Structure 1
Amino acid sequence: MPFPEGVASVAVRYTITSPAGGGPGEGTLQLMPTVPAIRIPGADGVFTGGGTYHFADGQLLDSEGEQVRLLPTNVDGANPPVWAWLGIESVNGAQPRHFYFALDADAEDVDLGAVQQLAPDLTQYLAVPGESAYDAWRRAGNDGTEADFLASLVGPPGDIAAANDYTDEQLGQGLAAEVARADAAYDPAGAATAAQTAAVDTATADATTKANAARDAAIATAAQDATTKAGNAQTAAVTAAASAAAALYLPKALLTVDAFMSQPGTKVFGHRGAGMVCPEHTEVSYDYAIAHGIQAMELSVNVDSEGQLWCLHDLTLDRTTYNTGALNTYPSTGVAQRVLTNGRVLHGQGWTDQPMVPLRTMLDKYLGRVVLFLEPKGNDAVVPLQNLLTTSYPHAPASVIWKAHVGTSFTWPKNNGYRTWCYVDDASSDAVLDGKDSLVDYWGVSTSMSSARRQQIVARGKPVFSWPVYRRSQRAALEADGIVGLMSSDPVYVRGTTAQATVSRWDQQVKESGGTPMSDYTEAAALKFSETDGWVSINRSRGTYGLGRYCPIVPGAGGYRIQIEMKYDQLSGDLAVHGGLYLGKSSDDVYEFSTLNATPGYHLILRQNGVLRLYRHLTTQTGGVALGAGDIATDAVVAGQSMTLQVDVTPTTIEARRLGNAAWTTGPIADTTHRGGYFGLSNGSITDTAVRPFWRNLAITQL
């Protein structure tokens, strides 16, 4: 936790008893100040602090494994002077609870499980914003210390204290001087006494007059001061009450845009939730991304005929639901009760149809927990979105990025405190970007834009995000161009670097994270699931499908083995057509048989006449290079009959076989050319999808 330089901090622990059966409790403790910010004399900026920390065996540790340190609540000169810490305890096995506590600057290694807990009403303190009275006094041209300023508040000389001093002086030394003067001036007997009496009367009258004036001035000053303080107290009370009421809804933004962007490394955002893994812009899609640790996601917004905002990318329902027509022609009740998304088309029939989700549902659920990119897709959704945020979510600017195309206006979001992401067309000129620059915090470039142009936009000096990112190979290229944010419809896979599984579960009939078809959001390229027995296929001419969920393969000391079942339900008139696997690639970029590909690897084929072959494919030629002795004759394929293929890749050799006969093998071929860990399914030379291959029961083992 960062602290202003020179400000003390206190190390804290947390010791509690587990409700599950005694012994030390374990869980998380969220800590936050009860005021939005604390200003400390001599320190730049303000302190906001807070965070969520893990505790076990009495230790309370931050994300780097260091003991948590907190700002004391009694720092001298702090503004506000009185505040407290709020703790929200989430113990494994128990309901969360919250408590308030103070923390002394002189304390050492405090156990928060044993601190005195404060009543909630003691936490309602809030610093009054604006310039201090002392700063205004100095700005008006006055010189002096804060003590001089305080002295000036009690009124000019002549107040009660000054009057008393003056009276004492007149009745002492002043009176003696008057008597001496009278004695010297008048010779007649009794003259000195008369002068003395007159002097006393004069001094008394003068003192009384000045005392009364001082009293009146003091009373007036005190009354004015009391009125000012009462007004300030009322303002502070109203502000604190409003803050407390808002806190019931959202106590504190757990993740702000600025905090998220300050994190090291490339940022990965959920695109349409996780639209290539779950039905896009549905609650389950957002939940999937956030449950896997994605800290930022996009919410596209459109409006129905009654002004209700819904999470939807298109202006119409045609592409993503079973309905047709523009959303703004449907009433709210109709959308809520009758419109279901058709995610099964892209993601497999194992999915149940998902309802559309109102924007308010997602804001209530996730605003403040994660960073949200909000984009009104239709012009008629802009004002309703602005009104909703202003009236119901005034704290939204802390955690929302306003997303819009370069051709739209950014004036409203900037005037209302929002960060802005402006995504541009591949052909957008520098002049167009210059016209928007003052209203833009982050630029957006597409993955189809040339690398040179992306680098030019990065060179403008503002953070640049790219969309849509589906593959790890895209991530590598974008990072090389200086892109710092990736908007991905498969954010969990793109963010990762390791395999997520070694055995398939295609019997579930749902698309897996890491599945990379030849083109995204295209029904023809999507993986097809059979209704029974866990078979999958690619219903596209010469189609391929990357299996990123299982990549990169981690070999053992002796290498690795890929084993998979394969069948042809129908046979072609040309039994030389083939399908199989591609493997050994160092990248998850697209592969296609008999085509120039970006990265090399191997290609295993099984023709419908039973011939097994293994090829090495290059980036410089369309045809493969045959490995081994040549064609391996196996039994001719029987329609509908399952066959098992196996590939062993060792540090020095590669061998392919069809199980069922010891002779059906290429034998170990000495070849160390390609040892990349990415592979996938391939329709090979098949152009008639009726005779395409099917696969199931994939398993990867270390050798």
Structure 2
Amino acid sequence: MGGSGETADGLGRRAFLGLAAGAVLGAAGCAPCPGSAGSPRPGTGILPAATAAAAFVAEGAVAGPGTTGPHTIGTLLSAPHFFVAHRGSGDNWPEHTMRAYRQSADAGLKAIEVSVSATADGVLVCHHDLTTARLTGAGLTIAASSAASLARLRNDARPWLGPATPLEPIPLLTEVLDAFAASHVIFLEDKQGTNAERILALLENYPDARQHIVWKQPASSAGHAQASADGYTTWGYVTRADYPRLAALAPLVDLLGIHHTAPEDRILELVDSGKPVIAWEVRRRSEHLRLRELGVRGFICSNIRHVLHQESPRAEDLFAEGLRGAGDLPWKADGGWDEQPAFTGGALRLSNREHAGYLLGSMAGAVDAADWELAFELRWPDGPPPAGASGGAGLAFGQPTDASYRRDPGPAAPGYELDVGADGRITLSRRDPGAATAVELAAGNSPAPAPGEWLAFVVSVAPRSLTVHRLEGGTPRWSLSTDDARYGGGWFSLLKNYDAGPPVEFRRVHLRAAAGSERCANVG
């Protein structure tokens, strides 16, 4: 920072307050905190988990604890809104496994979604892809492989859910039907599109199948007519290629499906058909609320523990445990498993090919206090990004929802961004709704990090101010402050603010109530 009033470290006194080692924040007699006048910061807006979870049960969207059913298509559709476990809720448990289906049922889901393919010897197995490469690492084509060869494989969701995730076998359709065909609704899809007769014949072994099985395929699939003729409820989903002919497709099925990213006018066109519309694959609370406001009734959800508020927020990250927390999501969660950062040595590593964000939704709302702090550490294990990079790394905080977030030019969700540059410069900015650029609130220099050096930070959020501390030996050494109190949302994301370049790692992310009331550092 240039100009007068800089310390020996290049820290401007007005916004970047040099703190002597051992200084005690909040000591009696400190100078008035910057910007203590004005309206206080709004609250996080996050309901207590138990309150929100109970609301879903009260409206019938999910079953209450201990409720065993039976849940039928009729009872599912009788509720104003309902949830289906997408692949058994693959953001919480290994997708399309008996463990995922059972956990979803235990969580109160009345319906699960199951994909089916036939092996070379005619055995029906539950697997989303037509090959086993993504989930098992073995590149077998299901249609060309025996059931015995698939039985030796294990679904491996560790790249998506974390290294502590257990391996699970590929289930047979008969296993799933035996467990759930009489107690839950099953949205069942013939992935190969050639097994309708075989599947329908198998279902005849389950007396109440027509009350529990929804035939699922693309809306244009000929299989719907066959399933409907056999007395089954049909759900047809549409893709982008179908948008010009939605009016022609809607009469072909009983229930309609559309992806959550579809344009609003296309969703509304299906809603206006009068048939129940079910959207997939819902991962975020903000996605659920948007769809619900548009008139969507059903939500095929891959992150039920988060969307349904079934876990209380955590005050610390789960990186050292090797598990992705419910609500923790990469910026492009729909982009495939390659988007998930790696867990390494108790840290989370962002090595995306482009700049990215990582939502720590499992921690949002963990602290209910007017004054709270967010602590974290970051480092560049292989050295910092090159000079001239578009940014460094840091976090976005104060966002009002769990919507996907990364540092981009153009309009963004309101809140704040903290960027730590490779040269040690720290910048605190504010993003306003609809604004093309961020408003810089405070910035200043601190020592450039050495390759592999962990940098520790604490963001202190008070009703009328924000303060960012970089620590040295556990003590605030460099700090910047602003009296901005515009946003108070409880959501935050870790940020990698440059394309390509070296990976950045985060660890020891921690939320806590501040030790005292609104505090500031003495100005030396």
On whether the aligned pair clears a TM of 0.5, the verdict is yes
Cα distance in 1 for residues equivalent to 2:513 and 2:119: 54
**What does the per-residue CA deviation read over 1:423-480, in whole Å, with 9 as the maximum and x for residues that have no partner?**
122343675644551x522111112221012112101111111112122111121111
| Residues 1:488 and 2:301 aligned together | yes
**What does the per-residue CA deviation read over 1:581-626, in whole Å, with 9 as the maximum and x for residues that have no partner?**
1111112222222322441210112222222221112344454211
Matched residue, 1:518: 331
Q: Which runs of 5+ in 1 are unaligned?
A: 1-62, 65-89, 91-251
Cα contact 2:341–2:349 (8 A) shared by 1: yes
Matched residue, 1:407: 220
Cα contact 1:595–1:621 (8 A) shared by 2: no
Matched residue, 1:316: 131
- Superposition deviation, residue 702 in structure 1: 2.7
SS in 2 for 1:627: strand
Cα contact 1:535–1:696 (8 A) shared by 2: yes
Matched residue, 1:701: 512
Q: 1:431 to 1:606 in 2, by over 3 A?
A: closer
Matched residue, 1:282: 97
Cα contact 1:316–1:327 (8 A) shared by 2: yes
Cα distance in 1 for residues equivalent to 2:396 and 2:439: 14
Matched residue, 1:304: 119
Cα distance in 2 for residues equivalent to 1:418 and 1:429: 25
Cα contact 2:220–2:249 (8 A) shared by 1: no
- Superposition deviation, residue 257 in structure 1: 1.2
Matched residue, 2:377: 565
Letter in 2 for 1:263: A
| Residues 1:634 and 2:477 aligned together | no
Letter in 1 for 2:130: L
Matched residue, 1:179: none
Letter in 2 for 1:653: S
| Residues 1:466 and 2:282 aligned together | no
SS in 2 for 1:588: coil
| Residues 1:680 and 2:493 aligned together | yes
Matched residue, 1:418: 232
Q: 1:539 to 1:518 in 2, by over 3 A?
A: same
Q: 1:426 to 1:495 in 2, by over 3 A?
A: farther
Letter in 2 for 1:536: L
Cα distance in 1 for residues equivalent to 2:342 and 2:271: 40
Matched residue, 2:41: none
* Runs ≥4 residues deviating over 6 A: none
- Superposition deviation, residue 554 in structure 1: 4.5
Matched residue, 2:347: 535
More displaced stretch, 597-606 vs 453-462: 597-606
Matched residue, 1:476: 289
Cα contact 1:426–1:448 (8 A) shared by 2: no
1:441 to 249, 254, 267: 254
SS in 2 for 1:457: helix
Matched residue, 2:183: 369
Cα distance in 1 for residues equivalent to 2:115 and 2:134: 15
Matched residue, 1:549: 362
| TM-score (structure 1 length as normaliser) | 0.60
**What does the per-residue CA deviation read over 1:128-183, in whole Å, with 9 as the maximum and x for residues that have no partner?**
xxxxxxxxxxxxxxxxxxxxxxxxxxxxxxxxxxxxxxxxxxxxxxxxxxxxxxxx
2:321 to 508, 525, 538: 508
| Residues 1:327 and 2:327 aligned together | no
Cα distance in 2 for residues equivalent to 1:434 and 1:637: 61
State how 1:181-200 maps to structure 2 within 5 Å: none
Cα contact 2:250–2:273 (8 A) shared by 1: no
| TM-score (structure 2 length as normaliser) | 0.79
Letter in 2 for 1:353: L
Q: 1:376 to 1:682 in 2, by over 3 A?
A: same
SS in 2 for 1:679: strand
- Superposition deviation, residue 638 in structure 1: 2.3
- Superposition deviation, residue 298 in structure 1: 0.3
Cα distance in 1 for residues equivalent to 2:164 and 2:244: 47
| Residues 1:260 and 2:260 aligned together | no
Cα contact 1:559–1:648 (8 A) shared by 2: yes
Cα contact 2:220–2:236 (8 A) shared by 1: no
State how 1:67-78 maps to structure 2 within 5 Å: none
Cα distance in 2 for residues equivalent to 1:676 and 1:455: 29
**What does the per-residue CA deviation read over 1:361-395, in whole Å, with 9 as the maximum and x for residues that have no partner?**
111112233221111111232222111101x2121
Cα contact 1:505–1:697 (8 A) shared by 2: no
Letter in 1 for 2:201: N
- Superposition deviation, residue 500 in structure 1: 2.7
The total of aligned residue pairs comes to 443
Cα contact 2:412–2:435 (8 A) shared by 1: no
Cα distance in 1 for residues equivalent to 2:194 and 2:275: 30
**What does the per-residue CA deviation read over 1:553-601, in whole Å, with 9 as the maximum and x for residues that have no partner?**
5431x23211112222122342875101111111222222232244121
Cα contact 1:584–1:677 (8 A) shared by 2: yes
Cα distance in 2 for residues equivalent to 1:341 and 1:449: 30
Letter in 1 for 2:288: R
Cα distance in 2 for residues equivalent to 1:355 and 1:620: 48
Cα distance in 1 for residues equivalent to 2:228 and 2:193: 18
Q: 1:431 to 1:656 in 2, by over 3 A?
A: closer
SS in 2 for 1:659: strand
Cα contact 1:525–1:538 (8 A) shared by 2: no
Q: Which runs of 5+ in 2 are unaligned?
A: 1-56, 59-65, 515-524
2:429 to 615, 622, 639: 615
1:382 to 193, 196, 207: 196
Cα contact 1:397–1:418 (8 A) shared by 2: yes
Matched residue, 2:466: 654
Matched residue, 2:483: 670
SS in 2 for 1:288: helix
% identity of equivalent residues? 25
Q: 1:510 to 1:689 in 2, by over 3 A?
A: farther
Q: 1:615 to 1:495 in 2, by over 3 A?
A: same
The structure with the largest alpha-carbon Rg is 1
Q: 1:525 to 1:646 in 2, by over 3 A?
A: same
Cα distance in 2 for residues equivalent to 1:671 and 1:360: 60
- Superposition deviation, residue 414 in structure 1: 2.1
More displaced stretch, 365-374 vs 424-433: 424-433
- Superposition deviation, residue 286 in structure 1: 1.9
More displaced stretch, 297-306 vs 669-678: 669-678
Cα contact 2:164–2:322 (8 A) shared by 1: yes
**What does the per-residue CA deviation read over 1:399-438, in whole Å, with 9 as the maximum and x for residues that have no partner?**
221111111132232233322211122343675644551x
Q: 1:407 to 1:679 in 2, by over 3 A?
A: same
Cα distance in 2 for residues equivalent to 1:677 and 1:419: 41
**What does the per-residue CA deviation read over 1:330-367, in whole Å, with 9 as the maximum and x for residues that have no partner?**
11111112x22232222222223322111111111122
Cα distance in 2 for residues equivalent to 1:611 and 1:497: 40
Q: 1:283 to 1:468 in 2, by over 3 A?
A: same
Cα contact 1:490–1:513 (8 A) shared by 2: yes
Letter in 1 for 2:164: G
SS in 1 for 2:195: helix
Letter in 1 for 2:432: L
Cα distance in 1 for residues equivalent to 2:69 and 2:146: 33
